[in-house]
Amino acid sequence: MSEYSANNNLNCQLTDACECYDTDGNGKDVTLVNGKCMKEKEIGESCETHEECRAFIQGDSICHTDMDRNTKYCTCGAFSIWDEDLQECLALGVNGTDSACKKDAQCSDDKALGRLSTCSKETGRCECTNALIDAKKNVMFYKYMCVEEKELGDDCEISQECEASLGLNAYCDPESFTCLCKAGASCPQTAFGRFSYEQPDVSAFTLVSLGFLGIAVMMAGVFCIVNLLRKDESYSYVRQQNEGV
């Protein structure tokens, strides 16, 4: 039984029917939830089960255990954030630009599309924006996040920022935090979001060599066929000589 059930929290009326007290004595409402009398919960308040939090807090709320402090309290789930205005745990935009949203924070969180994202008032979905950077630079959705256009030597935080503009051979150097190209590789500056990979250089000498190799293989095949035919003719001649004897 919960804290607000049993003898001290259920009123036994003249009808012999039990019901929850209106409050817990400290001003907190008490409500019957799934056959249990539960005190109303808010974000940050102590709890024992997920059920207590989810009964009163909208969205993905949980009863979190803080092992360091040996306490439990109501909070939002790992992929949701608390919105004070809406009094709700809002889901983060983990589905990219297909993510439904109500507030910008759902999109701009580090676990979502990042700081260059906002919640579109028109579509109600997360979208990339260049409002926080130089308006001349483009912003696109790449590998689960919104990134701005980069050139070799530009400042960066993670490699995805460099890859989106310069291809998969580009990376964000962990020491200088600038976009660099892998040693011996090519990182062509392309139209933003469109990778162009240089094909290996095939020289004239290589083409001639391949041509001669093909001719050699073909000649070897012809030689083998001729030898087989000669052997067959020799076998037939010997057989005819033996039959004549």
Q: What SS3 state is found at 204?
A: helix
Do 98 and 165 have their domain in common?
A: yes
Q: How confident is the model at residue 86 (pLDDT cuts 50, 70, 90)?
A: very high
Domain limits for position 177 = 90-181
Do 29 and 75 have their domain in common?
A: yes
Q: Tell me the C-alpha distance between 160 and 87, whole Å.
A: 35
pLDDT of residue 21: 74
Last residue of a domain, one of 54, 83, 112: 83
Percent of all residues in the chain with a pLDDT value above 90, rounded to a whole number: 45
Q: Amino acid identity, residue 50?
A: H
Query: Phi, psi at residue 144, to the nearest 5°?
Result: 70, 10
Do 74 and 100 have their domain in common?
A: no
The residues facing 178 across adjacent strands are: 155
Q: How confident is the model at residue 132 (pLDDT cuts 50, 70, 90)?
A: confident
Task: Label the pairing between strands 88-91 and 58-59.
Answer: parallel
Q: What SS3 state is found at 163?
A: helix
| Tens of pLDDT, residues 162-184 | 999 899 999 999 999 999 999 98
Last residue of a domain, one of 83, 98, 133: 83
Last residue of a domain, one of 33, 63, 83: 83
| Tens of pLDDT, residues 17-65 | 677 777 766 667 787 777 788 888 899 999 989 998 998 999 999 999 9
Do 47 and 21 have their domain in common?
A: yes
Do 70 and 142 have their domain in common?
A: no
> What letter does residue 197 receive in the DSSP assignment?
P
> What letter does residue 228 receive in the DSSP assignment?
H
Do 27 and 110 have their domain in common?
A: no
Report yes or no on whether pTM surpasses 0.85: no
For residue 215, pLDDT over 70 is answered with: no
Do 121 and 58 have their domain in common?
A: no
The residues facing 58 across adjacent strands are: 88
Q: How confident is the model at residue 192 (pLDDT cuts 50, 70, 90)?
A: low
* Residue 184, Cβ density class (10 Å: 0-12 exposed, 13-18 middle, ≥19 buried): exposed
